[in-house]
A and B are shown apart, each in its own frame.
Chain A
Amino acid sequence: MKYFNNPDRLVSLLWQLWQGLGVTMSLFGFTLLFSLPLGLALALLRMSRHKALRLPVQLFILVMRGTPLILQVFTVYFVLPMIFGAAFERLTAVVIAFVMNYAAYFAEIYRGGVQAVPVGQREAAHVLGFARSQAFMRIILPQVIKRIVLPVSNEVITLVKDTALVTAVGMVELYRVARNAASTVGSLEPLFIAGAVYLLINAVVSFLFNRVNRYFSYYQG
C-alpha cells in the first residue's frame, strides 16, 4: 500500500492520471471522429463495381488489418518524417495511424452490414424509382446501422484499450503515467488504478451503445 495510506501522493497520482486521461481521450475521440466516416467511404469503394477502386482499398484493408497497429504507429511517426522531412506532432502521428487502422476495421463492419440487408430491399427501392444513392441513404443505410451497432461497439471498446499502445512513441497517456509512477514507487498499484479508469470509460461506452441498440429495437428485420 504505497498510495492509500498517503493521501497527498494519491491526489498527486490522480492529478497525473487525469492529465494522461486527457491525452487518451483526445486520441480516442479524434480516432472515432475520423475513422467512422472514413470507414464508410472505404466500404463503399470496397463494394464498387470498378476494379480500379475496389482493389487498392482491398489491399489497404488487408495491410491495415494484417499488420500490428503498433508497427503502423511506428511507420507514421518514424518513417513518414524521413520521406516528407517534417515530423508530425506525436498526437497527430498516432491519430493518423489509428484512424487508418480503425477505418479499415469499420469498413469491413459496414460492408458486412450492407451485405446483411436482403437484396430485396435494393430491388424494392429500384422498382419504386429510387436512384442508387437515394436508395442507399434512405433505405439501406438505416438498416445497416441497426446491424452494426454491436460489432462497432466491440471495436470502440477495443479502441479505448488500444490507446495504451502509443506509449511506444513516447506519448504520456493514462497507461504511461501509471507505468512511470509504478517504476518510481516500485509497486503496481498505479497500474490497477489506471485499469479502473479504463473500466469506467468502457462502462460508459457500453451503456451508450446499449441505449443505441435499444433505440433501434423499434423494428425487426
Chain B
Amino acid sequence: MLQAENITKRYADNKVLRGVSLRVDRGEVVAVIGPSGSGKSTLLRCLIDLERVDGGRIMVGGETLVDSQAGGYAGKAALRRVILKMGFVFQSFNLFPHLTVLRNVTEAQERVLKRSKREARERAMEVLDKVGLSDKASEYPYMLSGGQQQRVAIARALAMDPQMLCFDEPTSALDPLLTMEVLRVIKGLAEEDRTMLVVTHEMAFAREVADRVVFMKEGTVRCEGTPEEVFDHPEVRAFSSQAPKP
C-alpha cells in the first residue's frame, strides 16, 4: 500500500531524516515509535506532501508521489490522487472552527469529491456515529472537549473514504482520560482491517494494536518487527522505560 525508500530530509544543517525506508502493506497496522526529534512526525508529514523530501522515493497505492531518481515530485493531478488515498489525523486536531461539526465532515466531500449535499450528509452522519458523536453534529468545535474534537477529526478523515489512515501523535495534546476515548476509536478502526500508520508515544497502545512496530531514533530506523521483537530490543527498552505510561 505504501512504500517509502531511503528518504532524506534536512532543515538547514539539521538532518532530520537520514535515509529512512518504511513499508505498510494493505490491511496492516504499523506503529512508529521513538523519542522526540527522531524524525517520525517529519516522515509521516512527507508521506502526504506536508513536507518535501530532499531525496528518496515514495509510492502510495501504486501511485508515485516522489522519486528523486526519476523526475522528482509528481504533477498536480497525481499529487492529489496520492493525497486522497490517505486520511490524515493531526496531533492538534485542526478542525475548522468556523464550521459546525457536520460541515467539518461534509465540506471536503462536497468540494473535493463533488458528492451531493445529501450524500455528503449521510456519509458524515455514518462516520460521526462510528466515533460516537452524531449528537454533536450541529455544534461548533470550540464547544467540544479535546477528545471529542479529535474524534471529529478522525470522522472527517474517514468520510473521504481513504485507502489508508495516518495518525500523527493523535493523543499527545490530550489528558489521560480523553486519550483513552480516542485510542478506543482508533483501536476500533484497526479491528476493521484498515491500513493504518500511527506515530505515537503510547507504548502499550502500540504493543496492543500494531501488527508491526518501527522504532526510529536520530533520523534513522533502528529496528522494526512484531511488537514482541521490537519492545525486546535493548534500545527500545531503554526508551520505553522513560516514556510516560498512559
Contact = CB atoms under 8 A, between A and B. Distances in A.
Interface of A: 118, 120-121, 123-130, 134, 138-139, 142-143, 146, 218-221
B86 A146 contact: no
Given A120-B94, A121-B94, A129-B108, 14 more contacts: A118-B92, A123-B50, A124-B90, A126-B48, A126-B49, A128-B107, A128-B112, A130-B108, A134-B112, A139-B107, A143-B97, A146-B98, A219-B97, A221-B142
A138 to B, nearest CB: 6
Contact of A123 (B94, B107, B140): B94
Contacts of A120: 90, 92, 94
B96 A129 contact: no
Smallest CB-CB A-B distances: 5 pairs: A221-B97, A124-B94, A127-B88, A128-B108, A120-B94
Contacts of A123: 50, 90, 94
Nearest to A119: B94
Nearest to B153: A124
B159 to A, nearest CB: 9
Interface residues of B, number: 27
A138 B92 CA distance: 20
Interface of B: 48-50, 80, 83-84, 86-88, 90, 92, 94-98, 107-108, 111-113, 140-142, 156-157, 160
Contacts of A126: 48-50, 83
Q: Chain A CB within 10 Å — which of B49, B87, B95, B111 has the most?
A: B111
Contacts, number: 65
A138 B104 CA distance: 11
A138 B108 CA distance: 10
A130 to B, nearest CB: 6
Contacts of B49: 126
A171 B49 CA distance: 56
Nearest to A137: B111
B42 to A, nearest CB: 13
A220 B142 contact: yes
14 contacts: A118-B92, A120-B94, A121-B94, A121-B96, A124-B96, A125-B108, A126-B49, A126-B50, A129-B84, A129-B113, A130-B108, A130-B112, A134-B112, A220-B142
A143 B160 CA distance: 23
Contacts of A118: 92, 94
A128 to B, nearest CB: 4
B111 A127 contact: no
A127 B97 contact: no
Contacts of A128: 107-108, 112, 156-157, 160
Contacts of B94: 118, 120-121, 123-124
Q: Which of A123, A126, A129, A219 has the most CB of B within 10 A?
A: A129
A128 B115 CA distance: 14
A129 B83 CA distance: 6
